[in-house]
A and B are shown apart, each in its own frame.
Chain A
Protein backbone atom coordinates (compact mmCIF):
# COMPACT_ATOMS: atom_id res chain seq x y z
CA UNK A 1 0.00 0.00 0.00
CA UNK A 2 1.40 3.39 -1.02
CA UNK A 3 1.52 6.13 1.63
CA UNK A 4 -1.23 8.74 1.62
CA UNK A 5 -0.11 11.91 -0.12
CA UNK A 6 -3.27 13.87 -0.87
CA UNK A 7 -6.60 13.75 0.97
CA UNK A 8 -9.61 15.48 -0.62
CA UNK A 9 -12.35 16.45 1.80
CA UNK A 10 -15.71 17.73 0.60
CA UNK A 11 -16.91 20.95 2.19
CA UNK A 12 -20.36 22.54 1.86
CA UNK A 13 -20.50 24.44 5.13
CA UNK A 14 -22.74 21.88 6.87
CA UNK A 15 -21.95 20.53 10.38
CA UNK A 16 -21.25 17.13 8.79
CA UNK A 17 -18.73 18.71 6.43
CA UNK A 18 -17.01 20.37 9.38
CA UNK A 19 -16.77 16.98 11.13
CA UNK A 20 -15.29 15.46 7.97
CA UNK A 21 -12.76 18.29 7.65
CA UNK A 22 -11.65 17.90 11.29
CA UNK A 23 -11.18 14.17 10.74
CA UNK A 24 -9.23 14.70 7.50
CA UNK A 25 -6.98 17.34 9.09
CA UNK A 26 -6.25 15.05 12.04
CA UNK A 27 -5.37 12.17 9.71
CA UNK A 28 -3.15 14.42 7.59
CA UNK A 29 -1.37 15.57 10.73
CA UNK A 30 -0.74 11.95 11.71
CA UNK A 31 0.49 10.62 8.35
CA UNK A 32 2.10 13.74 6.89
CA UNK A 33 -0.33 14.13 4.00
CA UNK A 34 -1.66 17.24 2.28
CA UNK A 35 -5.38 18.08 2.50
CA UNK A 36 -7.31 19.68 -0.34
CA UNK A 37 -10.61 21.11 0.85
CA UNK A 38 -12.94 20.70 -2.12
CA UNK A 39 -15.99 22.92 -2.57
CA UNK A 40 -18.54 22.39 -5.35
CA UNK A 41 -19.88 25.60 -6.87
CA UNK A 42 -23.47 24.91 -7.89
CA UNK A 43 -25.89 26.78 -10.12
CA UNK A 44 -27.37 28.81 -7.30
CA UNK A 45 -23.99 29.83 -5.96
CA UNK A 46 -22.95 31.52 -9.21
CA UNK A 47 -23.87 35.07 -8.22
CA UNK A 48 -22.62 34.83 -4.63
CA UNK A 49 -19.67 32.51 -5.18
CA UNK A 50 -16.97 34.84 -3.87
CA UNK A 51 -18.83 35.68 -0.67
CA UNK A 52 -19.73 32.05 0.06
CA UNK A 53 -16.20 30.83 -0.68
CA UNK A 54 -14.70 33.52 1.56
CA UNK A 55 -17.05 32.54 4.41
CA UNK A 56 -16.31 28.82 4.03
CA UNK A 57 -12.56 29.40 3.73
CA UNK A 58 -12.62 31.35 7.00
CA UNK A 59 -14.43 28.45 8.69
CA UNK A 60 -11.89 25.99 7.31
CA UNK A 61 -8.96 28.12 8.53
CA UNK A 62 -10.50 28.00 12.01
CA UNK A 63 -10.77 24.20 11.86
CA UNK A 64 -7.14 23.90 10.76
CA UNK A 65 -6.03 25.92 13.79
CA UNK A 66 -8.34 23.91 16.07
CA UNK A 67 -6.82 20.59 14.94
CA UNK A 68 -3.26 21.95 14.91
CA UNK A 69 -2.45 21.09 11.30
CA UNK A 70 0.31 23.08 9.62
CA UNK A 71 -1.70 25.51 7.40
CA UNK A 72 0.84 24.95 4.59
CA UNK A 73 -0.41 21.37 4.34
CA UNK A 74 -4.00 22.39 3.51
CA UNK A 75 -5.40 24.23 0.52
CA UNK A 76 -8.79 25.34 -0.79
CA UNK A 77 -10.10 24.12 -4.14
CA UNK A 78 -13.45 25.20 -5.57
CA UNK A 79 -14.78 23.82 -8.81
CA UNK A 80 -18.03 24.13 -10.81
CA UNK A 81 -20.43 21.22 -10.53
CA UNK A 82 -22.50 19.12 -8.18
CA UNK A 83 -20.73 17.78 -5.07
CA UNK A 84 -20.42 14.20 -6.31
CA UNK A 85 -18.98 15.09 -9.74
CA UNK A 86 -16.56 17.63 -8.27
CA UNK A 87 -15.24 15.16 -5.68
CA UNK A 88 -14.86 12.44 -8.31
CA UNK A 89 -12.87 14.88 -10.47
CA UNK A 90 -10.65 15.57 -7.45
CA UNK A 91 -9.33 12.01 -7.67
CA UNK A 92 -7.88 12.86 -11.06
CA UNK A 93 -6.20 15.86 -12.69
CA UNK A 94 -4.42 18.56 -10.69
CA UNK A 95 -5.73 17.46 -7.26
CA UNK A 96 -5.14 13.70 -7.79
CA UNK A 97 -6.36 12.76 -4.32
CA UNK A 98 -5.70 9.22 -3.15
CA UNK A 99 -8.35 9.36 -0.42
CA UNK A 100 -11.74 11.11 -0.36
CA UNK A 101 -13.40 12.12 2.91
CA UNK A 102 -16.99 13.33 3.23
CA UNK A 103 -19.56 13.88 5.93
CA UNK A 104 -22.35 11.36 6.17
CA UNK A 105 -25.07 13.86 5.34
CA UNK A 106 -24.47 17.02 3.36
CA UNK A 107 -26.99 19.59 2.25
CA UNK A 108 -28.87 17.21 -0.02
CA UNK A 109 -29.19 14.13 2.14
CA UNK A 110 -32.32 12.73 3.71
CA UNK A 111 -32.62 9.97 6.24
CA UNK A 112 -34.05 6.82 4.71
CA UNK A 113 -33.37 7.88 1.11
CA UNK A 114 -30.32 7.17 -1.01
CA UNK A 115 -31.42 9.88 -3.44
CA UNK A 116 -29.39 13.04 -2.95
CA UNK A 117 -26.73 11.26 -0.91
CA UNK A 118 -23.28 12.35 -2.08
CA UNK A 119 -21.59 9.69 0.04
CA UNK A 120 -23.72 6.95 -1.54
CA UNK A 121 -23.03 8.21 -5.06
CA UNK A 122 -19.31 8.44 -4.32
CA UNK A 123 -19.25 4.92 -2.92
CA UNK A 124 -20.66 3.68 -6.22
CA UNK A 125 -18.26 5.55 -8.48
CA UNK A 126 -14.99 6.44 -6.75
CA UNK A 127 -11.77 4.72 -7.78
CA UNK A 128 -9.93 5.64 -4.57
CA UNK A 129 -10.78 4.77 -0.95
CA UNK A 130 -13.65 6.76 0.57
CA UNK A 131 -14.16 7.63 4.22
CA UNK A 132 -17.62 8.71 5.41
CA UNK A 133 -17.41 10.57 8.70
CA UNK A 134 -20.50 10.64 10.94
CA UNK A 135 -21.37 13.90 12.66
CA UNK A 136 -20.53 12.48 16.07
CA UNK A 137 -16.96 11.56 15.08
Chain B
Protein backbone atom coordinates (compact mmCIF):
# COMPACT_ATOMS: atom_id res chain seq x y z
CA UNK B 1 0.00 0.00 0.00
CA UNK B 2 1.25 3.47 -0.89
CA UNK B 3 0.08 6.46 1.10
CA UNK B 4 0.69 9.73 -0.70
CA UNK B 5 0.47 12.80 1.50
CA UNK B 6 -0.31 15.62 -0.88
CA UNK B 7 0.02 16.57 -3.60
CA UNK B 8 0.77 20.06 -2.43
CA UNK B 9 2.84 22.80 -4.01
CA UNK B 10 1.55 22.03 -7.51
CA UNK B 11 0.34 25.58 -7.62
CA UNK B 12 1.64 28.44 -5.52
CA UNK B 13 5.16 29.18 -4.33
CA UNK B 14 6.06 29.94 -7.92
CA UNK B 15 9.42 31.61 -8.53
CA UNK B 16 8.85 32.04 -12.30
CA UNK B 17 11.60 30.37 -14.36
CA UNK B 18 13.05 28.85 -11.19
CA UNK B 19 14.01 25.13 -11.27
CA UNK B 20 12.16 24.49 -7.98
CA UNK B 21 8.78 25.03 -9.64
CA UNK B 22 5.17 23.85 -9.31
CA UNK B 23 5.43 21.52 -12.33
CA UNK B 24 7.72 19.26 -10.28
CA UNK B 25 4.64 18.06 -8.42
CA UNK B 26 2.91 17.16 -11.71
CA UNK B 27 5.99 15.12 -12.64
CA UNK B 28 5.90 13.35 -9.26
CA UNK B 29 2.23 12.49 -9.65
CA UNK B 30 2.83 11.27 -13.21
CA UNK B 31 5.47 8.93 -11.77
CA UNK B 32 2.96 7.60 -9.24
CA UNK B 33 0.36 7.18 -12.01
CA UNK B 34 2.80 4.93 -13.88
CA UNK B 35 2.41 2.36 -11.10
CA UNK B 36 -1.38 1.87 -11.69
CA UNK B 37 -1.88 1.16 -8.00
CA UNK B 38 -5.68 1.25 -7.96
CA UNK B 39 -6.93 0.46 -4.46
CA UNK B 40 -3.37 0.21 -3.14
CA UNK B 41 -3.02 3.99 -3.44
CA UNK B 42 -4.35 6.10 -0.57
CA UNK B 43 -4.25 9.86 -0.88
CA UNK B 44 -4.07 12.00 2.26
CA UNK B 45 -4.95 15.69 2.02
CA UNK B 46 -2.27 17.76 3.75
CA UNK B 47 -3.07 20.26 6.49
CA UNK B 48 -0.78 23.22 7.14
CA UNK B 49 1.55 22.64 10.09
CA UNK B 50 0.72 24.78 13.13
CA UNK B 51 3.18 27.07 14.90
CA UNK B 52 3.24 24.60 17.80
CA UNK B 53 4.15 21.72 15.46
CA UNK B 54 6.98 23.74 13.92
CA UNK B 55 8.27 25.18 17.21
CA UNK B 56 10.64 22.28 18.07
CA UNK B 57 12.48 22.89 14.78
CA UNK B 58 12.20 26.60 13.95
CA UNK B 59 12.53 29.68 16.14
CA UNK B 60 9.33 31.67 16.69
CA UNK B 61 11.06 34.85 15.51
CA UNK B 62 11.99 33.25 12.21
CA UNK B 63 8.49 31.86 11.66
CA UNK B 64 6.86 35.23 12.37
CA UNK B 65 9.33 37.04 10.12
CA UNK B 66 8.77 34.55 7.28
CA UNK B 67 4.99 34.90 7.60
CA UNK B 68 5.27 38.71 7.54
CA UNK B 69 7.71 38.64 4.61
CA UNK B 70 5.29 36.54 2.54
CA UNK B 71 2.31 38.65 3.57
CA UNK B 72 4.18 41.72 2.29
CA UNK B 73 4.52 40.07 -1.10
CA UNK B 74 7.78 38.14 -0.64
CA UNK B 75 10.90 38.30 -2.78
CA UNK B 76 14.32 36.68 -2.92
CA UNK B 77 15.72 35.55 0.44
CA UNK B 78 19.16 34.80 -1.01
CA UNK B 79 20.44 34.34 -4.57
CA UNK B 80 18.78 30.87 -4.68
CA UNK B 81 15.74 31.07 -2.46
CA UNK B 82 12.51 32.93 -3.01
CA UNK B 83 9.27 33.33 -1.14
CA UNK B 84 6.09 34.46 -2.88
CA UNK B 85 2.97 35.84 -1.23
CA UNK B 86 1.51 32.32 -0.99
CA UNK B 87 4.75 30.58 0.07
CA UNK B 88 4.00 30.74 3.80
CA UNK B 89 0.91 28.58 3.28
CA UNK B 90 2.68 26.31 0.76
CA UNK B 91 5.61 25.75 3.13
CA UNK B 92 3.36 25.00 6.11
CA UNK B 93 1.37 22.56 3.98
CA UNK B 94 4.60 20.80 2.97
CA UNK B 95 5.64 20.53 6.62
CA UNK B 96 2.14 19.40 7.60
CA UNK B 97 2.09 16.78 4.84
CA UNK B 98 4.93 14.94 6.58
CA UNK B 99 3.04 14.90 9.86
CA UNK B 100 -0.06 13.57 8.07
CA UNK B 101 2.01 10.82 6.43
CA UNK B 102 3.41 9.72 9.79
CA UNK B 103 -0.07 9.69 11.32
CA UNK B 104 -1.51 7.70 8.43
CA UNK B 105 1.18 5.03 8.72
CA UNK B 106 0.89 4.86 12.48
CA UNK B 107 -2.82 4.10 12.24
CA UNK B 108 -2.47 1.50 9.52
CA UNK B 109 0.79 -0.16 10.58
CA UNK B 110 1.42 -1.17 7.00
CA UNK B 111 2.60 0.25 3.72
CA UNK B 112 4.95 3.06 2.77
CA UNK B 113 4.25 6.79 2.70
CA UNK B 114 5.49 9.38 0.24
CA UNK B 115 5.24 13.11 0.89
CA UNK B 116 4.57 14.71 -2.50
CA UNK B 117 5.11 18.27 -1.39
CA UNK B 118 7.13 21.36 -2.13
CA UNK B 119 8.93 23.60 -1.34
CA UNK B 120 11.60 21.13 -0.20
CA UNK B 121 13.08 21.36 3.28
CA UNK B 122 16.44 19.80 4.09
CA UNK B 123 18.54 23.00 3.71
CA UNK B 124 16.29 25.09 5.97
CA UNK B 125 18.04 25.93 9.22
CA UNK B 126 16.39 26.69 12.54
CA UNK B 127 16.37 30.43 11.82
CA UNK B 128 17.18 30.74 8.14
CA UNK B 129 15.77 29.79 4.75
CA UNK B 130 18.28 28.64 2.17
CA UNK B 131 18.79 26.36 -0.82
CA UNK B 132 15.16 26.69 -2.07
CA UNK B 133 13.93 25.58 1.41
CA UNK B 134 11.77 27.63 3.80
CA UNK B 135 10.75 25.10 6.47
CA UNK B 136 12.50 21.83 7.24
CA UNK B 137 9.69 19.37 6.48
CA UNK B 138 11.48 16.17 7.44
CA UNK B 139 12.79 17.71 10.66
CA UNK B 140 9.28 18.74 11.73
CA UNK B 141 8.14 15.11 11.39
CA UNK B 142 11.26 13.70 13.06
CA UNK B 143 10.87 16.12 15.98
CA UNK B 144 7.26 15.01 16.46
CA UNK B 145 8.37 11.37 16.50
CA UNK B 146 11.21 11.82 19.00
CA UNK B 147 8.85 13.75 21.28
CA UNK B 148 6.89 10.50 21.47
CA UNK B 149 9.98 8.51 22.40
CA UNK B 150 10.80 7.16 18.92
CA UNK B 151 14.30 6.69 17.49
CA UNK B 152 14.45 8.17 14.02
CA UNK B 153 16.83 7.32 11.21
CA UNK B 154 16.98 10.00 8.49
CA UNK B 155 18.60 8.87 5.25
CA UNK B 156 19.29 11.78 2.89
CA UNK B 157 20.19 10.68 -0.66
CA UNK B 158 19.59 14.11 -2.23
CA UNK B 159 22.69 15.13 -4.21
CA UNK B 160 23.18 18.12 -1.88
CA UNK B 161 24.08 17.74 1.78
CA UNK B 162 21.11 18.37 4.08
CA UNK B 163 22.87 20.96 6.19
CA UNK B 164 19.64 22.14 7.82
CA UNK B 165 18.59 18.70 9.02
CA UNK B 166 22.11 17.97 10.25
CA UNK B 167 22.29 21.25 12.18
CA UNK B 168 18.84 20.87 13.75
CA UNK B 169 19.62 17.37 15.10
CA UNK B 170 23.38 17.87 15.61
CA UNK B 171 23.17 17.17 19.33
CA UNK B 172 20.06 14.96 19.41
CA UNK B 173 20.87 11.36 20.37
CA UNK B 174 17.49 10.00 19.19
CA UNK B 175 18.09 10.97 15.57
CA UNK B 176 20.65 9.31 13.31
CA UNK B 177 21.32 11.42 10.21
CA UNK B 178 22.97 9.67 7.23
CA UNK B 179 23.78 11.61 4.06
CA UNK B 180 25.35 10.71 0.72
CA UNK B 181 26.03 13.77 -1.42
CA UNK B 182 28.28 15.19 -4.11
CA UNK B 183 31.38 16.95 -2.84
CA UNK B 184 32.38 19.65 -3.32
CA UNK B 185 28.97 21.17 -3.99
CA UNK B 186 26.40 23.45 -2.39
CA UNK B 187 25.96 23.97 0.57
CA UNK B 188 29.63 23.20 1.31
CA UNK B 189 28.95 21.25 4.51
CA UNK B 190 28.84 17.46 4.93
CA UNK B 191 32.47 16.46 5.46
CA UNK B 192 32.95 12.94 6.80
CA UNK B 193 34.59 14.48 9.86
CA UNK B 194 31.23 16.04 10.90
CA UNK B 195 29.99 13.33 13.27
CA UNK B 196 27.55 15.00 15.71
CA UNK B 197 27.57 17.08 18.88
CA UNK B 198 28.77 16.07 22.37
CA UNK B 199 25.43 14.44 23.31
CA UNK B 200 25.11 12.71 19.94
CA UNK B 201 28.63 11.74 18.90
CA UNK B 202 28.46 9.41 15.92
CA UNK B 203 24.80 10.20 15.19
CA UNK B 204 25.75 12.12 12.04
CA UNK B 205 27.15 10.09 9.14
CA UNK B 206 28.34 11.99 6.07
CA UNK B 207 29.62 10.24 2.97
CA UNK B 208 30.78 12.75 0.35
CA UNK B 209 31.08 11.47 -3.22
CA UNK B 210 32.86 12.83 -6.30
CA UNK B 211 31.10 14.04 -9.44
CA UNK B 212 30.17 11.20 -11.88
CA UNK B 213 29.80 8.68 -9.05
CA UNK B 214 27.34 5.93 -10.02
CA UNK B 215 24.67 4.02 -8.14
CA UNK B 216 26.93 1.16 -7.06
CA UNK B 217 29.15 3.67 -5.22
CA UNK B 218 26.20 5.21 -3.37
CA UNK B 219 25.06 1.74 -2.27
CA UNK B 220 28.62 0.87 -1.23
CA UNK B 221 28.77 4.09 0.79
CA UNK B 222 25.61 3.25 2.72
CA UNK B 223 26.45 -0.43 3.19
CA UNK B 224 30.08 0.03 4.25
CA UNK B 225 30.00 3.28 6.23
CA UNK B 226 26.43 3.75 7.47
CA UNK B 227 25.06 0.24 7.91
CA UNK B 228 27.04 -0.68 11.07
CA UNK B 229 25.95 2.60 12.70
CA UNK B 230 22.31 2.04 11.70
CA UNK B 231 22.36 -1.51 13.10
CA UNK B 232 23.77 -0.20 16.35
CA UNK B 233 21.19 2.64 16.50
CA UNK B 234 18.15 0.39 15.95
CA UNK B 235 15.69 2.95 14.56
CA UNK B 236 11.98 2.68 15.23
CA UNK B 237 11.15 4.93 12.23
CA UNK B 238 12.94 5.60 8.94
CA UNK B 239 12.47 8.93 7.16
CA UNK B 240 14.11 9.57 3.80
CA UNK B 241 15.07 12.91 2.29
CA UNK B 242 14.37 11.59 -1.19
CA UNK B 243 15.91 14.07 -3.56
CA UNK B 244 16.20 12.82 -7.13
CA UNK B 245 18.82 15.34 -8.25
CA UNK B 246 21.60 12.73 -8.13
CA UNK B 247 20.10 11.56 -11.45
CA UNK B 248 22.54 12.00 -14.35
CA UNK B 249 20.11 14.31 -16.20
CA UNK B 250 19.77 16.78 -13.36
CA UNK B 251 20.95 20.31 -14.27
CA UNK B 252 22.10 21.31 -10.75
CA UNK B 253 24.67 18.59 -10.00
CA UNK B 254 27.00 16.00 -11.51
CA UNK B 255 26.35 12.57 -10.04
CA UNK B 256 25.51 9.87 -12.59
CA UNK B 257 22.65 7.84 -11.14
CA UNK B 258 19.75 6.47 -13.19
CA UNK B 259 16.15 6.01 -12.07
CA UNK B 260 16.96 2.32 -11.63
CA UNK B 261 19.51 3.22 -8.95
CA UNK B 262 16.79 4.89 -6.89
CA UNK B 263 14.87 1.60 -6.94
CA UNK B 264 17.90 -0.13 -5.43
CA UNK B 265 18.36 2.64 -2.87
CA UNK B 266 14.68 2.42 -1.92
CA UNK B 267 14.94 -1.33 -1.32
CA UNK B 268 18.15 -0.87 0.68
CA UNK B 269 16.66 1.81 2.93
CA UNK B 270 13.38 -0.08 3.39
CA UNK B 271 15.47 -2.83 5.00
CA UNK B 272 16.37 -0.42 7.83
CA UNK B 273 12.73 -0.04 8.95
CA UNK B 274 11.93 -2.24 11.95
CA UNK B 275 8.55 -3.29 10.57
CA UNK B 276 5.97 -2.38 7.91
CA UNK B 277 4.41 1.04 8.23
CA UNK B 278 7.52 2.78 9.50
CA UNK B 279 9.01 4.26 6.31
CA UNK B 280 8.25 7.77 4.97
CA UNK B 281 9.90 9.35 1.93
CA UNK B 282 9.93 13.14 1.58
CA UNK B 283 10.41 14.82 -1.79
CA UNK B 284 13.46 17.08 -1.72
CA UNK B 285 15.34 18.00 -4.94
CA UNK B 286 15.10 16.74 -8.53
CA UNK B 287 14.89 19.37 -11.26
CA UNK B 288 14.78 17.47 -14.55
CA UNK B 289 11.08 16.69 -14.86
CA UNK B 290 11.48 13.52 -16.93
CA UNK B 291 14.13 12.10 -14.59
CA UNK B 292 11.99 13.06 -11.60
CA UNK B 293 8.94 11.22 -12.98
CA UNK B 294 10.94 8.08 -13.79
CA UNK B 295 12.82 8.13 -10.48
CA UNK B 296 9.67 8.48 -8.38
CA UNK B 297 8.04 5.59 -10.28
CA UNK B 298 11.13 3.45 -9.96
CA UNK B 299 11.64 4.10 -6.23
CA UNK B 300 8.04 3.66 -5.14
CA UNK B 301 7.57 0.70 -7.47
CA UNK B 302 10.52 -1.04 -5.84
CA UNK B 303 9.12 -0.39 -2.37
CA UNK B 304 5.77 -1.89 -3.36
CA UNK B 305 7.21 -4.85 -5.21
CA UNK B 306 6.02 -3.41 -8.54
CA UNK B 307 8.46 -3.33 -11.43
CA UNK B 308 8.75 0.10 -12.94
CA UNK B 309 12.36 0.58 -13.80
CA UNK B 310 12.73 2.44 -17.08
CA UNK B 311 16.52 2.71 -16.71
CA UNK B 312 19.10 0.13 -15.65
CA UNK B 313 21.09 0.74 -12.45
CA UNK B 314 24.53 2.25 -13.07
CA UNK B 315 28.01 1.15 -12.01
CA UNK B 316 31.68 1.77 -12.67
CA UNK B 317 31.88 5.45 -11.75
CA UNK B 318 34.48 6.99 -9.46
CA UNK B 319 34.18 7.25 -5.69
CA UNK B 320 35.12 3.90 -4.12
CA UNK B 321 38.34 5.40 -2.74
CA UNK B 322 36.46 8.43 -1.42
CA UNK B 323 34.08 6.12 0.46
CA UNK B 324 37.04 4.45 2.16
CA UNK B 325 38.52 7.85 2.94
CA UNK B 326 35.20 8.92 4.48
CA UNK B 327 35.23 5.87 6.73
CA UNK B 328 38.77 6.66 7.90
CA UNK B 329 38.06 10.38 8.45
CA UNK B 330 34.93 9.52 10.41
CA UNK B 331 36.79 7.17 12.76
CA UNK B 332 39.58 9.72 13.27
CA UNK B 333 37.08 12.49 14.00
CA UNK B 334 35.20 10.33 16.49
CA UNK B 335 38.44 9.43 18.24
CA UNK B 336 39.48 13.09 18.44
CA UNK B 337 36.08 14.05 19.91
CA UNK B 338 36.26 11.25 22.46
CA UNK B 339 39.79 12.29 23.45
CA UNK B 340 38.62 15.88 23.99
CA UNK B 341 35.63 14.69 26.04
CA UNK B 342 37.87 12.47 28.12
CA UNK B 343 40.37 15.27 28.76
CA UNK B 344 37.58 17.66 29.80
CA UNK B 345 36.08 14.97 32.03
CA UNK B 346 39.41 14.53 33.85
CA UNK B 347 39.71 18.24 34.68
* Given A43-B160, A44-B19, A115-B129; A81-B189 close (CB under 8 Å): yes
Residue of A nearest to B73 (CB): A110
Residue of B nearest to A12 (CB): B79
Residue of B nearest to A40 (CB): B79
Residue of B nearest to A121 (CB): B128
Q: Which of B66, B188, B189 neighbours the largest number of chain A CB atoms within 10 Å of its CB?
A: B188
A30 is an interface residue with CB less than 8 A from chain B = no
Residue of B nearest to A46 (CB): B252
Contact A113 B78 (CB under 8 A): no
Contact A86 B252 (CB under 8 A): no
Interface residues of A in 70-94 (CB under 8 A from B): 79-86, 89
B69 is an interface residue with CB less than 8 A from chain A = yes
Contact B69 A113 (CB under 8 A): yes
Shortest CB–CB separation between residue A84 and chain B, in angstroms?
7
Contact A80 B185 (CB under 8 A): yes
Which chain B residues border A85 with CB–CB below 8 Å? Answer: 130, 163, 187-189
B223 is an interface residue with CB less than 8 A from chain A = no
Query: For the complex, what is the distance from the CA of A86 to the CA of B188, rounded to whole Å?
Result: 8
Shortest CB–CB separation between residue B17 and chain A, in angstroms?
11
Contact B131 A82 (CB under 8 A): yes
Residue of A nearest to B18 (CB): A44
Residue of B nearest to A118 (CB): B78
Query: For the complex, what is the distance from the CA of A42 to the CA of B129, rounded to whole Å?
Result: 13
Which chain A residues border B81 with CB–CB below 8 Å? Answer: 108, 116
Contact B79 A89 (CB under 8 A): no
Query: For the complex, what is the distance from the CA of A45 to the CA of B65, rounded to whole Å?
Result: 27
Interface size class of B (residues with CB under 8 A): 20 to 34
Give the number of residue pairs across the A-B interface with Cβ within 8 Å: 83
Contact A80 B77 (CB under 8 A): no
* Given A84-B128, A89-B188; A113-B79 close (CB under 8 Å): no
Shortest CB–CB separation between residue A120 and chain B, in angstroms?
10
Contact with B along A85-112 (1 / 0, CB 8 A): 1100100000000000000000110101
* Given A47-B251, A113-B65, A115-B69; A80-B78 close (CB under 8 Å): no
Q: Which of A12, A45, A84, A115 neighbours the largest number of chain B CB atoms within 10 Å of its CB?
A: A115
Shortest CB–CB separation between residue A105 and chain B, in angstroms?
12
B310 is an interface residue with CB less than 8 A from chain A = no
B177 is an interface residue with CB less than 8 A from chain A = no
Contact of A42 among B18, B78, B184 (CB under 8 A): B78
Query: For the complex, what is the distance from the CA of A84 to the CA of B131, rounded to whole Å?
Result: 12
Which chain B residues border A89 with CB–CB below 8 Å? Answer: 188
Shortest CB–CB separation between residue B178 and chain A, in angstroms?
21
B274 is an interface residue with CB less than 8 A from chain A = no
B80 is an interface residue with CB less than 8 A from chain A = yes
Contact with A along B48-83 (1 / 0, CB 8 A): 000000000000001001101100100111111100
Query: For the complex, what is the distance from the CA of A46 to the CA of B79, rounded to whole Å?
Result: 12
Contact with B along A31-49 (1 / 0, CB 8 A): 0000000001111111100
Where the two chains meet, the residues of A that have a C-beta atom closer than 8 Å to any C-beta of B are 12, 40-47, 79-86, 89, 107-108, 110, 112-116, 118, 121
| CB-CB nearest 5 A-B residue pairs | A81-B188, A108-B78, A116-B77, A80-B188, A42-B80
Where the two chains meet, the residues of B that have a C-beta atom closer than 8 Å to any C-beta of A are 18-19, 62, 65-66, 68-69, 72, 75-81, 128-132, 160, 163, 184-189, 251-253
> Beyond A47-B252, A84-B128: 17 further Cβ-contacts under 8 Å?
A44-B79, A44-B80, A46-B251, A46-B252, A80-B185, A80-B187, A81-B187, A82-B130, A83-B79, A85-B163, A89-B188, A108-B78, A110-B75, A113-B65, A116-B69, A116-B81, A116-B129
